[in-house]
């Protein structure tokens, strides 16, 4: 929406995406060691028996907040279910990125071409089955 239509809030970009994991150590390993995200800060919140891990995406100020909670309920994880459908990351070289993920034991779907944008894309999943997408974009 534009300010001319009476909206004063200007959304500039996404700051972070929050993910609740079922196994904090496994998810931390996946996002840090396998995907290569940088740890900004790790906090243990004793009152919640919970970790909060702030991760930097690339050289940007965009972040993933990885949380742990005791016995979090499962979320419906079908691609067409309501709510967050997937989280997409931009890569510059699709083939190299796919090869790197596969070398780390991560199963990746076949690369496809988006009929609207013409961009290459593919999907893989985090340890809890959250769909993650790679999009090749300059």
What value, to the nearest 5°, has the Cα angle with vertex 105 and ends 93 and 19?
80
How far apart, in Å, do the first and last CA atoms of the chain sit? 26
**CA separation for the pair 14, 17 (Å, rounded):** 8
- The per-residue pLDDT string of the chain (138 residues; one tens digit each, 9 = 90 and over) reads 444 566 678 767 888 999 999 999 999 999 999 999 999 999 999 999 999 999 999 888 899 999 999 988 887 766 667 777 789 999 999 999 999 999 999 999 999 999 989 999 999 999 998 899 999 987
Closest CA to 121 of 130, 109, 129: 109
Q: Does the predicted model carry a pTM greater than 0.85? A: no
């Amino acid at each position: 929406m534009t300010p001319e239509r009476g909206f004063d809030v200007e959304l500039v970009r996404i700051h972070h995406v929050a993910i609740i994991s079922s196994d904090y150590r496994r998810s931390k390993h996946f996002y840090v060691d396998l995907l290569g995200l940088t740890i900004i800060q790790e906090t243990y919140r004793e009152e919640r028996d919970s970790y909060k891990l702030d991760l930097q995406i690339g050289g940007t100020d965009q972040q993933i907040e990885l949380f742990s909670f005791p016995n979090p309920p499962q979320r419906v994880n079908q691609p067409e279910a309501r709510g967050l459908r997937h989280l997409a990351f931009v890569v510059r070289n699709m083939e190299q990125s796919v090869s790197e993920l596969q070398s780390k034991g991560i199963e990746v779907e076949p690369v496809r071409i988006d009929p609207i944008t013409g961009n290459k894309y593919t999907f893989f999943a985090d340890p809890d089955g959250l769909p993650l997408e790679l999009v090749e974009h300059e």
